[in-house]
Chains A and B, each alone.
Chain A
Amino acid sequence: MEQEKRDIWIFSEQPQLAFELLCKGGALSKELGSELVAFATTASCADDYIKRGADKVLLVNNPILAEFQVDTYTDALSALANEHKPEAILIGATRNGLELAPRLAERLKTGCVTEVTKIELDADKKFLLMDRVSMGGNLVETHISRSKPQIATVPKGLFSQNSPDTSRKGQIITAEPKIKPPATRLLEKKPKEAKGVKLSDASVIVSFGRGVRKKEDMAMVEKFAEAVGGVIGCSRPIAEDLGWLPEEQYIGLSGQKVNPKLYFACGISGQIQHLTGIRNSKVIVSINNDPKAPIFEFSDYGIVGDLYEILPNLTDAVKQLASN
């Protein structure tokens, strides 16, 4: 009997994310002693995938796949999976991917773990252990899929990419799975203006209050925000009384409610009106020169010191980290 293939498959309609999946997928397939297979819809993608680590690419050149649509992609992938029986399929956790993965998993009657935070093989190399966060971040669950393929959706930035290796060789297999016409019709699509991240969606926020003395000093805060990749927010007086920022940017009881991974409160005293807006933040860092400021009770890390000294130093420290 032919030894069961335990190939790792990857797919993302987003190239950069696909490269990240290839990197991790490659590591997994190496451990299993199997092959890394990528699903592509164009020849140029197929070439890139090989360069980035794929051993094989299943290329389906069908024009019906030119635009991502959940029905056609489910048809294609499920047909191919039924034919080739992969060990696991890693799908990029874009909105498209999050729509595709469960539908595909249901068609294949297999398990699926979305928004994984970690993937590794168990000690016996039998299962993929897929971690995800639940219960509002309070719980980390380790999942396995009871059947194959084991499907996981992987968010951007979790894994790194291999740099392209033009010398790499791989196999590009053209496939023609049966794909039914989609049940929905795309009428139009409009790109979104890069208006910047909304505060309520931001994962890093740098917020400031009356500790910032002059409007010109906002530049210092902006520099720091840039260094950490954060969106600027503020307390109510900054927007409502001083008008330094538009009202959509103030966080608090009658303003925005935010839930970033990282929240910096610079020169904010911590009145309850502000605290109710930030309580869902994962990690809160506050900087204030008053050791008795109520915000410290509410923070994970509190720096007692002068904002005007701390922020520039922090900006440097973060930049140092980036360059290392």
Chain B
Amino acid sequence: MVHTIVLVKQVLQTAELKIDKSSKSIVTQGVPRVISETDKNALEEAVRIKEKHGGKITVISMGSPEAKEALREALAMGADEAVLLTDSRFEGSDSHAVASVLAAAVTKILDYDLIICGAYSEDMFAFQVGSRLAEICNLPQFTYATKITMEGSKITVERDLENERQVVEGKLPCLVTVVREINEPRLPTLMAIMASSKKPTSTWSAEDLSLAESELGYNGSLNEILRSTVSSGERKRVIMQGEAKDVALKLTKALQQEGVLKVT
């Protein structure tokens, strides 16, 4: 019997983001909100662990109230309980502030054996929250997991590094971050998602987590974003024609300027 906590983040589908040229800002209206891909892998892994070892899965998401949709999908995939951490004071949180809030939630739940989350989120690719959370909660961490095996309180994890694969073992409780190779997440049908509304969902705010305002959001962050610049937009559609040699040179220069053509 394993009690697993899975952390999911609801992100904007980054492929759908558009730049509004006039206001030089990102258009988020109408952009679908989805569960970050690696978090789906985390959920799928948790469900497989439950199928094998029994126990329960609590899924936690920190985000805007819309994240409830993500939690419903997570419940439909097989989680048993959902917790939404939402509070306007959470806004502007950096990885440390996020990890602090998650740590408070996880500590409140207390009787978990395992925390699984994606190694990174699809919108930020920061790779930070997992490690920070493990540090705050004083948990051993296993990162970039491609396979998880459990036996009693022993856990063995296969990890994927750039040049090697490792097999590491340790003891529960611990935190594991997963990468996409670990599994193929199941896709719940609409009916499964609708049926999942029966499963218990709680909503916690800063008060429920006993967090002081100084620890939250912009105030509680260790990083500060000085400025954000909107970078890309529509496809450029630059057409080049003419003498092959000239065109080749022109293109090579342009790509170099874009910073995508690196020659060693």
Contacts and interface: CB of A to CB of B under 8 A. Distances in A.
Interface of A: 70-71, 74, 94-96, 98-103, 105-107, 109-115, 129, 133-147, 157, 183-192, 204, 228-229, 261-262, 279-280, 282-285, 291, 296-306, 309-310, 313-314, 316-318, 320-322
B260 A95 contact: no
Contact of A189 (B127, B166, B249): B166
Interface of B: 12, 14-15, 17, 19, 26, 94-96, 99, 122-132, 134-136, 140-144, 156, 160-171, 174, 221-232, 235-242, 244-245, 247-249, 251-252, 254-256, 258, 260-264
Contacts of A114: 125-128
B231 A137 contact: yes
A204 B163 CA distance: 19
B120 to A, nearest CB: 8
Contacts, number: 244
Given A106-B131, A146-B222, A192-B163, A310 B247 contact: yes
A313 B169 contact: no
Contacts of B26: 135, 138-139
B177 to A, nearest CB: 8
10 contacts: A70-B143, A74-B135, A106-B131, A114-B127, A134-B124, A135-B124, A138-B230, A145-B223, A185-B168, A321-B263
Contacts of A302: 237-240
Contacts of A70: 131, 141, 143
Main secondary structure of the interface of A (DSSP, over half): mixed
Given A134-B123, A136-B17, A317-B249, A191 B166 contact: no
A100 B169 CA distance: 18
A161 B242 CA distance: 39
A107 B244 CA distance: 57
Given A103-B132, A111-B96, 9 more contacts: A94-B162, A95-B161, A110-B222, A112-B95, A134-B124, A300-B237, A313-B248, A317-B248, A321-B256
A296 B239 CA distance: 8
A132 B147 CA distance: 30
A187 B255 contact: no
B263 A305 contact: no
Given A110-B222, A189-B165, A301 B236 contact: yes
Contacts of B144: 95, 99
Contacts of A100: 131
A295 to B, nearest CB: 10
B225 A141 contact: yes
A92 B165 CA distance: 19
